[in-house]
């Protein structure tokens, strides 16, 4: 049989699956065989690492009835075999909440709590996982520190003039969120060295605007102008004193300024019990890490505060620009929410995060606090590599979203919860570790201490060189002898030098099988498995290993699981035969917060579009799908009137996340304007009697004639009339011909003809007589 390469791959896959099935079937047929006994472990610590269901019996006389039993087995099996409960090593994973203060409603009063619980302790066995719930609430009237960091290069001259009047507007806007607001101000340009600044002529150092007949301030890196203060008038006063500068190249040194504003907590005045907002305003790109090498700066940014007595950044010519990773780390440590308020053409910053686009002539920041506080996202700090964490979020309307650790579209006062599953993959060197779960931008955090249940209590009473191990040839620990090198046997009674061929029968699983599965040597009637560069080989007959499992892209169990005797045991958050399928769904969330835009399902972290015509990473593109008005119409039907298609499909909460407001006192109005367009608006009054008008932005206007449609209609009408005329002409001709033919037939039938000769007819035979012929 000849197989093409494609066929070889298919048969190889079939063979692999079949081999795994047969191995599983083989273990199921062996009496008493399970994942605990099949590993052939010889120590209590190894037993606990096999599987969370495994227990170890340290009873000294266990299994002395003559039958060969394993001390590492299921707990129920060990109990049936006579193991006492006080000799059973079976630690259980557990979760203990240590501090669980209630969530606060408002920021006023004593200690404000925005996350619950605050402290907990976990005990985890290798391979086991435990789940707990974290609740987060954004309290009302929480203090806000807003530091405005502005680019003062020459192109921002008009924006500086607008910022003078923006202080009171910012204070008024933020006053809707908190009554405890403090504002500060800082400015930046770029590093004060070539090629970032003008050095020639000498006057350019003090007046970079020398070439445009204008006086401006000397270039600087970053200067802290105004610490955070409650006095809005002071903010306006200090901003009005500022003058723009001018640098040589287009990118600015904004990241230097961000780093100093984040880490210089005392100089800036960041309060520990407040939301920290850092507004970064620029109209140009910014330098990033390694750009300093252009000027010969090779020392990386150290992430420390370097403001001198004049609040000027004094390491601008010494340290390189900070990296994004360093900035992210420092902002997380100091609970800073960074807002890029940049123009639309600043592409690199747009990639990072553009929350507030601005025009070239005005800085427009409204609803700033609502934008920041409408989302809660959990951040992980100091999580050990041996731990896997998986999240499920319960956001609005109690809807569960799997694989997500963030909720958006929230209002102040909303409470959201996250289900967190923690799994211990393997045993680290430490006995315990502590990590934190904290919402981004919050000072509150959940402190989780994990104790690793990797050791057995019976190890503390181990007896080195015990007489129970053939007069000191091993250490008696947890009911078994741990033999010294060169000794084997249950009691270390056998020396490697002693060899008897009769013992080989104990190393063969069946009569015609290979000895020790050809992966070990039979010593003293026991299989001593060979070492392997790929991993560990174990089992009574060396039949198991931890490297012969399904792979994905060359990685064993996709690097998301543990190979156990031919099968992948997936980590938390992963599934599938080779653990290549994630259970996360955050990668399927569209920009409007819908799973696959409501047009598909999330499978293995990838959207599978089920709506005909939908495509895109999150099924966000669909030219043939109903428009937004049609979708919102269905949302109104299901959310407000509790009826419609989404109610029948039980998908209202998943697709519709709109907030519907019904004003019972509102009056719907409409009128026709001079262009014959219908304008709709709603009129209502607030509690103070102030009139409020809600106007529909676009009026409903009658559509004019479509030139193309009219042209096609005229051409079609002409063509149609021509065809009709031809048909009528053809019909008349046909009728006339039929009448003439009938007349002809009638006249022919009436005609009477006499028989006569045609005078013009000449016969076919002619006779001529030769008159001169006389004959014979």
The mean pLDDT of 656-682, rounded to a whole number, is 74
Beta strands 446-452 and 119-124, pairing class = parallel
CA atoms of 701 and 139, how far apart (whole Å): 46
Mean pLDDT of the chain: 82
The mean pLDDT of 748-756, rounded to a whole number, is 68
| Model confidence at 27: pLDDT above 60 | no
Ordered by where they begin, the domains of the chain are 32-91 (3.30.1680.10), 94-140+377-452 (2.60.40.1510), 144-373 (3.40.50.410), 551-582 (2.10.25.10), 584-625 (2.10.25.10), 632-695 (4.10.1240.30)
Residues 6+ apart with CB under 8 A from 268: 147, 184, 186, 224, 227, 228, 261
Of 187-191, 273-277, 609-613, highest mean pLDDT:
187-191
The mean pLDDT of 252-278, rounded to a whole number, is 93
Q: What are the two backbone dihedrals, phi and then psi, of residue 580, each rounded to the nearest 5 degrees?
A: -100, 5
- Residues 320-359 have pLDDT tens digits of 999 999 998 999 889 898 888 765 555 444 444 433 333 3
Beta strands 222-229 and 400-402, pairing class = unpaired
Number of neighbours of residue 483 by Cβ within 10 angstroms: 20
Closest CA to 334 of 302, 304, 289: 304
CA atoms of 142 and 157, how far apart (whole Å): 34
Closest CA to 121 of 446, 416, 580: 446
- Residues 503-544 have pLDDT tens digits of 677 788 776 778 888 888 887 777 888 888 888 888 778 888
CA atoms of 221 and 151, how far apart (whole Å): 10
Residues 6+ apart with CB under 8 A from 707: none
Q: How far is CA 555 from the centre of its chain?
A: 22
Are the CB atoms for 305 and 175 separated by under 8 Å? no
Tell me what pLDDT residue 31 has: 44
Of 110-119, 587-596, 634-643, 701-710, highest mean pLDDT:
110-119
Residues 6+ apart with CB under 8 A from 688: none
| Model confidence at 16: pLDDT above 60 | no
Q: What is the DSSP letter of 291?
A: G
Instruction: Please tell me whether residue 424 adopts helix, strand or coil conformation.
Output: strand
Q: What are the two backbone dihedrals, phi and then psi, of residue 521, each rounded to the nearest 5 degrees?
A: -115, 145
- Residues 433-490 have pLDDT tens digits of 999 999 988 889 999 999 999 999 999 999 999 988 988 889 999 999 988 888 887 8
CA atoms of 396 and 411, how far apart (whole Å): 10
The answer to which of 79-88, 135-144, 398-407 has the lowest mean pLDDT is 398-407
CA atoms of 155 and 358, how far apart (whole Å): 14
Residue entry with tokens 């407000």: 640
The answer to which of 187-196, 334-343, 376-385, 548-557 has the lowest mean pLDDT is 334-343
Tell me the pTM. Answer: 0.66
Give the residue with greater pLDDT, 773 vs 458.
458
Joined tokens for residue 391: 């999240």
Of 211-215, 312-316, 609-613, 628-632, highest mean pLDDT:
312-316
Tell me what pLDDT residue 22 has: 38
CA atoms of 266 and 227, how far apart (whole Å): 9
- Residues 167-200 have pLDDT tens digits of 777 777 777 778 888 999 999 999 999 899 888 8
CA atoms of 191 and 317, how far apart (whole Å): 6
3-state helix, strand, coil in the chain (%, to 5): 25, 25, 45
């Amino acid at each position: 049989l000849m197989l093409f390469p494609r066929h070889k791959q298919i048969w190889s896959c079939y063979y692999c699956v079949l081999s795994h099935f047969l191995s599983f079937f083989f273990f199921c047929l062996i009496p008493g065989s399970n994942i605990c006994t099949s590993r052939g472990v010889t120590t209590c610590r190894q037993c606990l690492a096999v599987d969370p269901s495994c227990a170890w019996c340290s009873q000294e006389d266990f299994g002395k009835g003559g039958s060969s039993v394993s001390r590492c087995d299921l707990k129920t099996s060990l109990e049936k075999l006579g193991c006492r409960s006080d000799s059973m090593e079976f630690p259980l994973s557990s979760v203990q909440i240590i501090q669980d203060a209630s969530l606060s409603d408002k920021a006023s009063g004593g200690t404000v709590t925005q996350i619950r619980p605050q402290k907990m302790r976990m005990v985890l066995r290798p391979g086991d996982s435990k789940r707990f719930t974290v609740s987060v609430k954004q309290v009302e009237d929480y203090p806000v520190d807003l530091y405005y960091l502005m680019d003062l290069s020459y192109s921002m001259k008009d924006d500086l003039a607008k910022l003078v009047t923006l202080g009171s507007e910012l204070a008024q806007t933020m006053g809707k969120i908190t009554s405890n607001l403090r504002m500060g101000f800082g400015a930046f340009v770029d590093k004060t060295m070539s090629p970032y600044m003008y050095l020639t002529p000498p006057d350019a150092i003090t007046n970079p605007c020398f070439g445009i007949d204008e006086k401006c301030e000397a270039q600087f890196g970053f200067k802290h102008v105004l610490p955070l203060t409650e006095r809005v008038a002071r903010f306006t006063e200090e901003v009005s004193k500022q003058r723009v500068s001018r640098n040589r190249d287009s990118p600015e040194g904004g990241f230097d300024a961000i780093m100093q504003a984040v880490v210089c907590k005392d100089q800036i005045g960041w309060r520990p019990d407040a939301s920290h907002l850092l507004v970064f305003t620029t109209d140009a790109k910014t330098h990033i890490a390694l750009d300093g090498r252009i000027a010969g700066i090779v020392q990386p940014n150290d992430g420390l505060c370097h403001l001198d007595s004049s609040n000027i950044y004094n390491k601008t010519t010494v340290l390189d620009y900070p990296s994004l990773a360093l900035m992210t780390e420092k902002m997380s440590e100091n609970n800073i929410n960074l807002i890029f308020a940049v123009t639309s053409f600043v592409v690199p910053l747009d990639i990072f995060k553009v929350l507030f686009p601005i025009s070239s002539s005005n800085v427009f920041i409204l609803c700033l606090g609502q934008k920041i506080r409408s989302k809660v996202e959990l951040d992980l700090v100091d999580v050990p590599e041996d731990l896997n964490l998986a999240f499920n979020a319960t956001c609005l309307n109690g809807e569960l979203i799997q694989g997500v650790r963030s909720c958006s579209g929230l209002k102040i006062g909303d409470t959201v919860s996250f289900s967190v599953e923690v799994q211990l993959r393997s045993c680290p060197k430490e006995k315990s570790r502590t990590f934190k779960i904290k919402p981004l931008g919050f000072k509150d955090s959940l402190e989780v201490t994990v104790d690793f249940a990797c050791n057995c209590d019976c190890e503390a009473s181990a007896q080195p060189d015990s007489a129970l191990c053939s007069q000191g040839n091993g250490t008696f620990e947890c009911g078994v002898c741990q033999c010294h090198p060169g000794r084997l046997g249950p009691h270390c009674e056998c020396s490697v030098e002693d060899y008897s061929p009769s013992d080989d029968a104990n190393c063969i699983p069946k009569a015609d099988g290979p000895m020790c599965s050809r992966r070990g040597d039979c010593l003293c009637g026991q299989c001593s498995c060979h070492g392997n560069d790929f991993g560990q080989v174990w089992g009574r007959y060396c039949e198991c290993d931890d490297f012969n499992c399904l792979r994905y892209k060359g990685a064993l169990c996709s690097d998301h699981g543990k190979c156990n005797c031919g099968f992948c045991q997936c980590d938390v958050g992963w599934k599938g035969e080779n653990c290549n399928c994630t259970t996360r769904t955050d990668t399927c969330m569209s920009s409007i917060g819908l799973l696959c835009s409501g047009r598909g399902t999330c499978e293995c972290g990838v959207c599978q579009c089920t709506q005909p015509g939908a495509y895109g990473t999150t099924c966000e593109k669909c030219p043939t799908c109903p428009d937004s008005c049609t979708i919102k119409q269905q949302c109104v039907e299901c959310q407000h009137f509790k009826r419609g298609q989404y109610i029948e499909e039980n998908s209202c909460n998943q697709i519709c996340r709109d907030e519907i407001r019904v004003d019972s006192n509102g009056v719907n109005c409409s009128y026709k304007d001079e262009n014959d367009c219908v304008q709709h608006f709603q009129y209502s009054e607030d509690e103070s009697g102030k009139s409020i008008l809600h106007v529909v932005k676009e009026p409903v206007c009658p559509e004019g004639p479509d030139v193309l449609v009219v042209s096609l209609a005229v051409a079609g009408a002409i063509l149609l009339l021509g065809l009709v005329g031809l048909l009528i002409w053809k019909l008349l001709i046909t009728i006339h011909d039929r009448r003439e033919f009938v007349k002809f037939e009638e006249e022919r039938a009436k005609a009477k003809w006499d028989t006569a000769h045609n005078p013009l007819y000449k016969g076919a035979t002619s006779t001529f007589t030769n008159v001169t012929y006389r004959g014979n």
